[in-house]
Structures are given as structure tokens and as C-alpha cells.
Amino acid sequence: MKNKKHNKLKILNDPIYGFIQIPNTLIFDLIEHPYFQRLRRIAQMGFSNLVYPGANHTRFHHAIGCMHLMQKAVRVLRFKQVKISDEEENAIYIAILLHDIGHGAFSHALEHSIVNGISHEEISLKFMKKLNDEFNGKLDLAIEIFEGRYHRKFLCKLISSQLDIDRLDYLKRDSFYTGVTEGNISSDRLIAMMNVKDDELVIEGKGIYSVENFLIARRLMYWQVYLHKTGLVAENMLVNVLRRAKELAEKGVELYTSTSLGYFLYNKISQENFTIETLEMFSKLDDYDVMSAIKEWTNHSDKVLSLLSKMIVDRKLLRIEIQQDAFKESYLDKKLNKVSKKFDITSEESNYFVFSQQISNQAYSTNKPIYILNKKGKLMDIAKASDQLNLQALTNPVVKYFICYPK
């Protein structure tokens, strides 16, 4: 028995952090659970690997990495005499491990197509509650913290805030796997500078430049990676192909799909009717269902579906233009007409190939600020503590517009 227990306390390799220790058997069992194993089959960055071929890392690894950084944070805070009970420690490990468990295939595409009306955070919560049942209430505190209801706010902030452990891992990880070295933040230093003051998670004064750098690096990652134009096209084409499939499904057209993907195509799922059965179906759905369906749809008789699918599979993506101002209606119409003729499809159908949207990124929000602990022991919003960088400017969301259309 002891041996078995010992066996569960194993280590995992991480190219970024070296070895990651699984802290206890409950967490080991959560990791082993099929719900969590599913994350092995969901790419952290969706179709970004079409731009950055190294970016094939999974939600699974990200979640494990978060747990590792959280262990560091606990060590640092306890070293600074912040009291964290063993129960709280365990709860924040679980909360961070499972914070993304509700992510759908290709990370974000499903939310904007076939599983809409319910966010991945809400689904994460459903999974956590279901697991809590299976594990006899051992996730109670983790859920309380995940929902932000726990009275010790700094623990909630470690799970979700503008400088949470989630961001500390994903920025570092995405930078690592894409090879965009400028996005490389020093998670280690930021954690080493963490402290707690008046139940608020703070960064000590001398960490101010690291926080600035973190915000700027995140901004860079947004524009250079997450909103990279080729990735944007691919992501939107993915959304469109799933929307088209759902449209066809609703008309009763037969489609090659796995059982779980079919469930979400042929049923209208919303927050209201998201039952345990839905959750179970969702737990079977991953990148493989979606991509294998798209591959097969390349031969479907519906022209829109097959064309879009083929473009995705062969990486013959739509052309994209990005600019600071909205595109003129007339420009869009011209493109729509052209496509309608070229492919001999209705103007409504043309919208699957020609579309315009806005994208935006707010590098920093003063709503729930990142606090700097200054020398006098006072908390200051980083936007004010920074001597010059004018971080205030970063609170204005940058908005851009793009239009996609066939070459």
C-alpha cells in the first residue's frame, strides 16, 4: 500500500521547468481521471501551430505546469511567513490544475460555434463539481476558491487575476514552444517577488520592472502570436466550418462525425440544457473529433463545407487584411459578390468565406489592479507605481479590424 502510494508520487518531465513533482495522491488521481486525460488531446494554442510549428503543446501540460508554479508560490509565501494551511495548499493546487478543464477542442473555437451560450469557465466548474461528487467532497475548498468565494482573497487571486499563476505559465510556455523568445517572462522572479499584504496578493517594490516587462511581453504575445493574422484566419475558418456543419445538421443533412461531435452538432446546447449527459459527451470531445471530421468533410457534397474543410486541411487559407479602422461596407460587398460568383454560391453562403471582424486587446485593466508594495508598506496600482512607462496608456484597449476573403 505504501509502495503503491509512493508510486503515485511521481515526477513528470517538463522541457521548461525540468521536473514537476505531483504533490499527493489525490492530485495524482485527478490527473489520472479521464476528464483530465482528455486535455492531452487539446492543443493549448489551437491552430497557432500553423504559424509556429513548434506550438503543439497541450492543455494537459499547461495545467501541470501551473500546478508546479503554484508549488513555488506556496514555498515563497510561506517563507515570508504568510500562513497557508495544508488544506488551503491542496485546494489551490486542485483549483489551478482544473481551472481550464472545461476548455473545448482547439481551445476557443467551440465556444464561438457549436457550444455557445456557456463559457469554458462554467464548464470547468461543472467538471469540478462532478469530480467533487466522485471524490467525496474533497474538492469543496478548491471550488470555493475557483469561484472566488473564499474569504482569503489572495488565494483566489493566485487562481484568477491579472497576474495569476495561469498567465505566468501560459506566457512562458507559449513563448517557449513558439520560439518567440521576447515573450519569455521570468515567472520565477515574479513569484519570488510575491507577498501578501492585507489579504491582497502584491508584488514587492523591487519587482516593478518585472511586472512592467510581464505586461509588455503579454501585449507582444497577443499581437505577434495569439492574434497573428494567419492564426486568426485559421481560427475563424475553423469556427465557420463548424457553424456550417451545425447549420447543415439542423437541416437534417448527414455528416461524418464522432458520436460526441454529432451530439453538439445535432442538438441545440445552451447553458439551460447542459446536463450531466451533455457534460459526459463534452468530456469525449477533443481536437481529434473535430479535425478528423473536417478531413472527411473535404469530400462532402455541400460546397461550402467541403471547400472550407479543404482549405483548412491543406493550409490554403483565406487572405487576410488587418488595419486600424473598420473596413468599408462596400469593400466587403465587393468581395462577397466576387466569391458568390466564383464559387457559384448564395450571397448568404458567401459570408463563410468573406467576413470582417474586430479584434482587441487590453494590455492592462485598472479594475482589479496589480498591486505593488512600496517601501512604506503601501499598496499602489502598478499603473501609478511605474515611474514613467505610462502604463495608463495600456488600459486603452487596442482595436483593429480584419477582413478575410479568398485569394
**Which of positions 208-227 make contact with a second copy (CB under 8 A)?**
209-210, 212-214, 216-217, 219-220, 223-224
Nearest to 128 by CA among 73, 86, 91, 167: 91
Grid coordinates of 289? 473529433
Smallest distance from a second copy to CB 142, Å: 22
- Residues numbered 363 to 402 that lie near a second copy (CB under 8 A) are 363, 387-390, 393-394, 396, 398
Range 253-257 contact pairs with CB under 8 angstroms and sequence separation of 24 or more: 253/302, 255/293, 255/297, 255/300, 256/293, 256/296, 256/297, 256/300, 257/289, 257/293
Q: What mask of x and - would describe binding to a second copy in positions 167 to 196, judged by CB under 8 A?
A: ---------xxxxxxx-xxx-xx--x----
- Residues numbered 22 to 41 that lie near a second copy (CB under 8 A) are 32, 34, 37, 40-41
Give the chain's end-to-end CA distance (angstroms, integer). 64
Q: Identify which range of 57-65, 267-275, 329-337, 346-354 contacts a second copy by CB under 8 A.
A: 57-65
Q: Identify which range of 110-118, 241-249, 279-287, 338-346 contacts a second copy by CB under 8 A.
A: 279-287
Smallest distance from a second copy to CB 279, Å: 16
DSSP-derived secondary structure for 311-359 = HHHTT-PPEEEEESSPPPHHHHHHHHHHHHHHHT--HHHHTTTSEEEEE
Of 117 and 179, CB closest to a second copy: 179
Binding-site size, a second copy (CB under 8 A): 80
Smallest distance from a second copy to CB 293, Å: 8
d(Cα 372, Cα 242) in Å, to the nearest integer?
44
- Choose which of 279, 284, 332, 374 interacts with a second copy (CB under 8 A): 284
Nearest to 336 by CA among 351, 322, 323: 351
Smallest distance from a second copy to CB 184, Å: 6
d(Cα 225, Cα 232) in Å, to the nearest integer?
10
Smallest distance from a second copy to CB 60, Å: 6
Smallest distance from a second copy to CB 343, Å: 20
- Residues numbered 239 to 258 that lie near a second copy (CB under 8 A) are 256, 258
- Residues numbered 67 to 86 that lie near a second copy (CB under 8 A) are 79-80
- Residues numbered 328 to 357 that lie near a second copy (CB under 8 A) are none
d(Cα 258, Cα 262) in Å, to the nearest integer?
6
Grid coordinates of 94? 486542485
Dihedrals φ, ψ of 193, to 5°? -90, -5
- In the chain, count of helices (H) and strands (E)? 19, 9
d(Cα 41, Cα 187) in Å, to the nearest integer?
26
With binding defined as CB under 8 A, does residue 135 bind a second copy?
no
Of 344 and 387, CB closest to a second copy: 387
Q: Identify which range of 119-127, 230-238, 281-289, 347-355 contacts a second copy by CB under 8 A.
A: 281-289
d(Cα 354, Cα 103) in Å, to the nearest integer?
28
- Residues numbered 294 to 333 that lie near a second copy (CB under 8 A) are 295-296, 299, 313-315, 324
Residues 96 and 73 sit within 8 Å (Cβ to Cβ): no
